[in-house]
């Protein structure tokens, strides 16, 4: 199978976080005749010989709409997860099919795009600790535009409640709109830029500069009439 076909097949498999069963089976069917396979939940470990190197990638995607899913235009492949990170998974599969006698551990893990607690690597580290401890060097095929990155941002999520007063949208005197009250907060984060943090290190007598990039962004704005039920009436200004 050529790399392009593998990627297009992966893109045609919907695999949002916690629903990776189908893509797991696709990968297993390609590798099962060439490797010793270990699985837990939708996580896959494949290997043959003693190894010190691991190639690692997550098989889930975020949920989004992509009207060009699985389409190639001007040498670019479009689709949900094409960059993050089904292209990386396709490369891993193609390499695994070619170099199945090499001393490499292949790790395909689930639920990366969700919470840290549910991340598939936690299960892999717990269940297959003896195997994971053999790894001395790992490459994760996250999208980096052909740059080498020594890590990636962690995430801290905060929720901010802005309280207004609920009322019928046709009667301005009945409500205090929390969305308008939140504009100063939205504008603050729109213009807020955290500086990069640079660390200089020496490794085997060579100098390296590591740059840690930070970002703060609003990803969701929703209105509620109470804490338990989403505001489902479009003619009602919510309280929060």
Helices (H), 158-239: 178-181, 183-190
Q: How many Å apart are CA 15 and CA 46, to the nearest integer?
A: 20
Task: List, for residues 34-44, the tens digit of each pLDDT value.
Answer: 999 999 999 99
**pTM for the full model?**
0.78
Q: Per the structure block, which two tokens stand in for 199? A: 């660390």
Q: Per the structure block, which two tokens stand in for 118? A: 């549910």
Task: List, for residues 133-177, the tens digit of each pLDDT value.
Answer: 999 999 999 988 877 777 666 778 889 999 999 999 999 999 999
- With DSSP H G I counted as helix, E B as strand and the rest as coil, what are the percentages for the chain, rounded to 5? 25, 25, 50
Determine contact, residues 84/136, Cβ cutoff 8 Å.
no
In which band, very low, low, confident or very high, does the pLDDT at 229 lie, cut at 50, 70 and 90?
low
- Per the listing, tokens 């395909």 go with 108
DSSP letters, 160-214, are -----B-EETT-GGG-B-HHHHTHHHHHHHHS--PPPEEEEEEETTEEEEEEE--
Question: Please, which residues bridge with residue 138 across strands?
Answer: 54
Q: What is the pLDDT of residue 215?
A: 84
Q: How many Å apart are CA 124 and CA 190, to the nearest integer?
A: 38
Q: What is the pLDDT of residue 93?
A: 98
Q: CA-CA-CA-CA torsion for 65, 67, 71, 76, nearest 10 degrees?
A: -70
Give the mean pLDDT of the chain: 91
In which band, very low, low, confident or very high, does the pLDDT at 227 lie, cut at 50, 70 and 90?
low
């Amino acid at each position: 199978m050529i790399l392009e076909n593998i990627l297009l097949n992966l893109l045609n498999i919907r695999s949002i976080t916690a629903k990776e069963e189908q893509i797991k089976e696709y990968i297993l069917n390609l590798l099962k005749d060439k490797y010793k396979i270990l699985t837990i939940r939708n996580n896959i470990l494949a290997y043959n010989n003693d190894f010190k190197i691991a190639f690692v990638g997550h098989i889930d995607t975020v949920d989004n709409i992509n009207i060009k899913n699985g389409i190639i235009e001007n040498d670019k492949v479009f689709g949900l997860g094409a960059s993050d990170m089904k292209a990386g998974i396709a490369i891993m599969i193609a390499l695994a099919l070619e170099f199945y006698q090499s001393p490499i551990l292949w790790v395909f893990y689930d639920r990366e795009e969700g919470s840290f607690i549910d991340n598939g690597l936690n299960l892999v580290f717990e269940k297959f600790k003896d195997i994971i401890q053999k790894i001395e060097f790992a490459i994760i095929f996250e999208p980096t535009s052909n740059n080498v990155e020594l890590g990636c941002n962690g995430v801290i999520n905060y929720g901010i409640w802005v309280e207004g007063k609920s009322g019928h949208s046709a009667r301005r005197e009945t409500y205090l709109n929390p969305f308008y009250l939140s504009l100063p907060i939205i504008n603050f984060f729109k213009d807020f830029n955290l500086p990069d943090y640079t660390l200089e290190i020496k490794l085997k007598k060579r100098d390296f500069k590591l740059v840690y990039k930070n970002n703060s962004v609003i990803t969701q704005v929703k209105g509620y009439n109470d804490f338990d039920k989403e505001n489902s009436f479009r003619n009602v200004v919510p309280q929060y």
